[in-house]
Chains A and B, each alone.
Chain A
Amino acid sequence: MSLTDTELSAPEPSRAIVFWRRYRRNRAALLGLGLFIVVLAMALLAGVVTPGDPLARAGAPLTPPFQSWETPLGTDQLGRDIFAGILYGARISLLVGVAATLVAIAIGVVIGALAGYFGGWVDDLLMRITEAFQTIPNFVLLLTLVAIMGSKIEWITVAIGIVSWTAPARMVRAEFMSLRDREFVDAARNLGVSNGALIFREILPNALPPIIVYASVIMALSILLESALAFLSLGDPNYASWGNMIGQGRAVLRTDPYCAVIPGIVIVLTVLSFSLVGEGLNDAANPRQKQ
């Protein structure tokens, strides 16, 4: 009989595997992942399945869906293939989603980390700025930014990032405020680690998981924002985007509803997939006893 505590327990399965197991338990999250993979595949395969320019005339204008093999989902007012538009639109939506999210999180992390780590007047100043951004209705700010920079897809993406960083900044700040007082930070500081390294090497990796989960929310919102802009004719017409398709399809909503309804449903499903994946990640990251 020994009470010694020095034997090691068997090595545990890697975090990723544990995480996946937990994730897998949530059926809705699996559905979301499936949808997400479909969207991803659409984006990747766009050039293969429907080669050529999605903005080129592909058939007689306003062909309804399921009439021709050339244009399985029909064509719009200028004879553009809706199917090709959906596939290439997945690219734009994912691109906008990912890039805008990166912008938002990058800004949010820097501001939140500095505010949360240093506190005091740095925190006060940065939080006042954050509050200012939060107070202005984000969509109005977005419209203003787009009015200034024009509707190039790059600028739209940056603008969406700029109006979305406050929530991650607050989250990072909250995480930093709780983490900076944790003993492991003191331990590292006690070893002589510098502030910069404390922020980025010690605290940030621990503060990131909830932010990464939240990224799915920003991504979903980005796609919605892009489509709302396009709806108001402020999208970038040089690319096939779902929002543009709805915006233009709206004119023929009554006669040829499929022009707007098909991309509309695709947006709903895509955003839904992000949300479901996000919820799944969240649940897997904070497992509850129940279930």
Chain B
Amino acid sequence: MSVVLEIKGLQIALPKGADRPLALDGLDLQVRAGEVVCLVGESGSGKSLTAGAVMRLLPEPHVRTVGGTITFDGTDIVAQTEAQMKRIRGAQMAMIFQEPMTALNPQKTVGWQLDEMLRLHMDAPRRDRHAHAIAMLERVQIPDPASAYNAYPHQISGGQRQRVMIAMALSLSPKLIIADEPTTALDVTTQLQILKLIRDLQEEEGAGVLFITHDFGVVAEIADHVVVLRQGEMVESGPASEVLNNPQHAYTRALIASVPDLKPPAPQQSDAPIVLEGKNLRKTFRARGGLLTGKRKAVVAVNDLSFTLRRGETLGVVGESGSGKTTVSRIVTRLLEADSGAVQLGETDLLACTPSQLRAKRAEIQMVFQDPMASLNPRKRVVDLIAQGPIVHGMPREEARAKARDLLELVELSPAAADRFPHEFSGGQRQRIGIARALALEPKVIVADEPVSALDVSVQAQVLKLLADLRARMSLSLLFVTHDLRVAAQLCDRIIVMQRGEIVEAGRTADVFADPQAEYTRTLMSSIPGRDWTPPKLSA
């Protein structure tokens, strides 16, 4: 098979003052026709810049290619003029971006944007172009292509938007398709459909695909060939099966070792006392906005939901986006007022507390949030962030600070961190700070809403491990919200599966994974990317 894209010794320079001088230092890579090459690596490793260099869309001059060659279909990309590049872009190499919402112009119809691609590169009358566009929409399996053609991006769903992007990218049968994390923003079920679609179409067209991702599950699902990047350096490259099952480089091994296993741990029999109980919780978001703000229908976010959480236990709440997971976690901590129901925390019903009772009670139930940056007040020093809770609950200032320093050690951060500001930490470190803050009040229950989904796999693994350790050591009860079934499998004793605000299935994790009862759970399970691949047990 012919080589579509060949990158040799690619170097990309960053502007002065960036975290490193070269964003990319010596990348070699080949994409053949009909092949999917996955470029994997953690955040900031230079994946997107590689794509930018190939398309010649780097934000020049401050980020620019300074070394190496990029040969596309026999032409030297680096040497092309801008006019020549314009002819190549879109027609011969096309790109699919991560965020289908923002990658489409909100002010133009889907059809217009599809047509723009054709108009730019095809010398065909309007009617032919229209027919071609409709045909493309059909190929990406959009229901009712004719109406989708006239729709604005906001009028179709996220998955459909990504399909439109794919249709656009494929519409001129390019030789190379670059997909930069095309499914990261999508639900698992949709993600799998899109991956399948890309695979199918690419096989039909015989195009080469450079697929960028950080998710080894996705790699396992789609890749023929894998290239691993770390901080701009290529650490490993090889056929997918090789790299996934028998990684050579220590970094790759560590990464793969961090991928959570789909096999839940052996269930522990628990008859510990119940610490938290949700009873018939209900929350409806009323219709708001109107003509100019875009009318929304009333949403039943949580409907008649009940659960129990025992001491020392982790209860997972899983489900797709919009299923009501976050709403549950916010009702339980009473950051959101429920319409009805009760949250029994020990003897008290949290939802019936007066504001002052509630404030006292809050010490017993704490939260860890999803976005480690957003959940830390950027204007406060770490020590104050952690000490804030105890101080509010009456602990003398100095004592609270001393305690905060102790807690830093507990979450494996150096005490030197105490006097810094949140922005000086990496994502994983910030999440540790968040955990330390939650622990500072010595709560009985910790509610964690997607605490690791913003983190890279390796960091994710550490944070999960830390949580598991702490839970065991302090006999904490954890209400753990996640959309990632791999994570749920690893950490949770029991899970509840939510769909449209209701529980469709609940039970011990091992049981649910082994034998899902509900149709919806089954779909979820089968959509986990790379579900057939079991990360090899490696010693890092």
Contacts and interface: CB of A to CB of B under 8 A. Distances in A.
Interface string A163-188: 00000000000000000001110111
Given A1-B251, A3-B458, A12-B424, A193 B59 contact: no
A186 B367 contact: yes
Given A206-B378, A290-B59, A188 B359 contact: no
Given A186-B335, A192-B389, A11 B420 contact: yes
A129 to B, nearest CB: 22
Interface string B365-399: 01101110011111100000000110011000000
Interface string B235-260: 00000000000000011001100100
A28 B366 CA distance: 49
A240 B464 CA distance: 69
A132 B258 CA distance: 59
Contact of A190 (B335, B370, B423, B425): B335
Task: Please report whether the interface of chain A is mostly helix, strand, loop or mixed according to DSSP.
Answer: loop
B363 A5 contact: no
B89 interface: no
B379 A187 contact: no
Contacts of A187: 367, 369, 375-377, 434, 437
Contact of A3 (B254, B375, B437): B254
A59 B428 CA distance: 73
Contacts of A202: 377
A182 B429 contact: no
Contact of B388 (A182, A191, A205, A206): A191
A135 interface: no
Nearest to B249: A1
Interface of A: 1, 3-9, 11-12, 15, 182-184, 186-194, 202, 205-206, 289-290
B369 A3 contact: no
18 contacts: A3-B255, A3-B258, A5-B462, A6-B412, A6-B413, A9-B424, A9-B425, A11-B424, A15-B421, A184-B378, A186-B375, A188-B388, A190-B335, A191-B362, A191-B389, A192-B393, A193-B388, A206-B378
B429 A183 contact: no
B514 interface: no
A190 B377 contact: no
A6 B414 contact: yes
Which of A184, A190, A289 is packed against the most chain B CB atoms within 10 Å?
A190
A186 B376 CA distance: 10
B297 interface: no
Contacts of A190: 333, 335, 362, 366-367
Given A187-B367, A187-B434, A191-B389, A5 B379 contact: no
Contacts of B371: 183
Contacts of A4: 462
Nearest to A191: B389
Nearest to A186: B335
Contact of B359 (A6, A15, A192, A289): A192
A205 B379 contact: yes
Nearest to A206: B379
Given A5-B462, A190-B367, 9 more contacts: A6-B414, A8-B417, A11-B420, A182-B375, A183-B369, A186-B330, A193-B392, A289-B62, A290-B62
B198 interface: no
B329 to A, nearest CB: 10
Interface string B429-470: 100101001000100000000000000001100100000000
Contacts of B358: 192
Contacts of B251: 1, 3
Given A190-B335, A191-B392, A192-B363, A183 B370 contact: yes
Which of B62, B377, B388 is packed against the most chain A CB atoms within 10 Å?
B377
Contacts of A6: 412-414, 429, 432
B424 A1 contact: no
A13 to B, nearest CB: 10
B360 A192 contact: yes
Nearest to B426: A5
Contacts of A186: 330, 335, 367, 369, 375
B124 interface: no
B421 to A, nearest CB: 8
A189 B258 contact: no
Contacts of A189: 335
B266 interface: no
Nearest to B333: A190
A1 B458 CA distance: 13
Contacts of A1: 250-251, 254, 540
Given A8-B417, A192-B393, A184 B367 contact: no
B416 interface: yes
Contacts of A3: 251, 254-255, 258, 458-459, 462, 540
Contact of B459 (A5, A11, A12): A5
Contact of B374 (A7, A9, A183, A289): A183
B392 A192 contact: yes
Nearest to B392: A192
Which of A184, A188, A191, A289 is packed against the most chain B CB atoms within 10 Å?
A191
